[in-house]
Amino acid sequence: MLGDEILVGDDQTLAVVNNSILPQIILSDTGLLFLGIEPQTKRPWFVISAQENAPENQELLQTIGRFVPPREALSFLPPSDLALAGRALSLNNWHQNNRFCACCGTLTISTAGGEKRECISCEREYFPRVDPAVIMMVVKDDACLLGRNASWPEGVYSTLAGFVEPGESVEEACRREVMEEVGIKIGDVSYAFSQPWPFPHSMMIALVAQALSSKITLEDELEDARWFSRKEAIAIVNGTHDQVTQPFSRASSGVLLRNWALKK
Ligand SMILES: [Zn+2]
């Protein structure tokens, strides 16, 4: 990686840096981080964080691939590479942003292959964090609710989402977020699936939320929110809706919408 960008090979998979190149790379403070063991080959995987302001790195690494912004890379990498890339992005970001001890302000150092950081003065340990967030398909009868943020490209609508606050259950976070964003009361909430979301270290908990009311009252957060029929939802999933598109079909929002539209 170079900053947040991921090195991708010509075959559109993660580029593998071999031993002939590795010693020549000027590493950033984050250096080498252990990602895990590949189950089939038993080979260890590491992410290499190259120093950004070293032109030698650019020159060297561009002989085996090209640097791609993370969101773009996650849209085309094969499923086998997605988990590695996601873990690499999250870990790398956490290490870059936790270089000083929150208790005494002294430098921290990466230990145990990047599994934690330790303060070199007070020895306090810090572990990578994961922030739980809820993302919910709000449904009522045969309609679903999607909203859009003013900063998104025109026509993009998505499921509602928000972070779980301290002291809240997942269900409470879902009901609060929906009430805050669109003024709709939620009854039953059911779990659908979860997805690590490495921007920078969220865990998206995907839910289906049954609405008890249908009148939408917009607050500041969203520019618009609407109810869509199942027929419209199918058109959005298929990319044939004349006004609305979804943001990213592989993300939780896209999967929730597709599953509901196609009744999986
Ligand atoms: Zn300390």
What's the confidence (pLDDT) of residue 185? 98
What would the two tokens of residue 209 be? 């939320």
Q: Is residue 119 in a domain?
A: no
Count of the separate structural domains present in the chain: 2
Distance 119 CA to ligand 1 centre (A): 5
Taking only the tens place, the pLDDT of each residue in 208-244 is: 999 999 999 998 889 999 999 999 999 999 999 999 9
Q: Is residue 1 in a domain?
A: no
Distance 12 CA to ligand 1 centre (A): 42
- Reduced 3-state DSSP string for 83-118: HHHHHHHHHHHHHHCCCECCCCCCEEEEEHHHCEEE
Mean pLDDT (whole number) for 52-72:
90
Residue 255 has pLDDT above 90, yes or no: yes
What's the chain's average pLDDT? 93
Residue 48 has pLDDT above 70, yes or no: yes
Mean pLDDT (whole number) for 84-103:
94
Q: Is residue 71 in a domain?
A: yes
Last residue of a domain, one of 52, 73, 97: 97
Same domain, 81 and 136: no
Distance 210 CA to ligand 1 centre (A): 47
Mean pLDDT (whole number) for 77-95:
91
Same domain, 93 and 194: no
pLDDT exceeding 70 applies to what percent of the chain?
100
CATH of the domain at 243: 3.90.79.10
Q: Is residue 143 in a domain?
A: yes
What's the confidence (pLDDT) of residue 137? 97
Mean pLDDT (whole number) for 163-180:
97
Distance 123 CA to ligand 1 centre (A): 6
Distance 96 CA to ligand 1 centre (A): 17
pLDDT exceeding 90 applies to what percent of the chain?
80
What's the confidence (pLDDT) of residue 264? 55
Distance 91 CA to ligand 1 centre (A): 21
Phi, psi dihedral angles at 53 (to 5 degrees): -95, 30
What's the confidence (pLDDT) of residue 75? 85
Distance 99 CA to ligand 1 centre (A): 11
Determine contact, residues 27/49, Cβ cutoff 8 Å: yes
What's the confidence (pLDDT) of residue 71? 87
Distance 107 CA to ligand 1 centre (A): 8
Last residue of a domain, one of 53, 75, 97: 97
Distance 110 CA to ligand 1 centre (A): 14
Q: Is residue 117 in a domain?
A: no
Q: Is residue 108 in a domain?
A: no
Same domain, 218 and 175: yes
Q: Is residue 102 in a domain?
A: no
Distance 35 CA to ligand 1 centre (A): 26
Q: Residue 245 belongs to what domain range? A: 131-261
What's the confidence (pLDDT) of residue 229? 96
Residue pointed to by tokens 């984050």? 30
Residue 59 has pLDDT above 90, yes or no: no
Total-model pTM: 0.89
Distance 126 CA to ligand 1 centre (A): 10
Distance 127 CA to ligand 1 centre (A): 14
Distance 120 CA to ligand 1 centre (A): 7
Distance 52 CA to ligand 1 centre (A): 28
CB atoms within 10 A of CB 97: 10
Mean pLDDT (whole number) for 45-58:
90
- Reduced 3-state DSSP string for 36-73: EECCCCCCEEEEEEECCCCHHHHHHHCCCCEEECHHHH
Residue 30 has pLDDT above 90, yes or no: no
What would the two tokens of residue 33 be? 């981080």
Q: Is residue 245 in a domain?
A: yes
Last residue of a domain, one of 97, 116, 142: 97
What's the confidence (pLDDT) of residue 4? 87
Distance 108 CA to ligand 1 centre (A): 7
What's the confidence (pLDDT) of residue 103? 97
Same domain, 143 and 93: no
Residue 122 has pLDDT above 70, yes or no: yes
Taking only the tens place, the pLDDT of each residue in 131-162 is: 999 999 999 999 999 999 999 999 999 999 99
Distance 125 CA to ligand 1 centre (A): 9
What's the confidence (pLDDT) of residue 214? 96
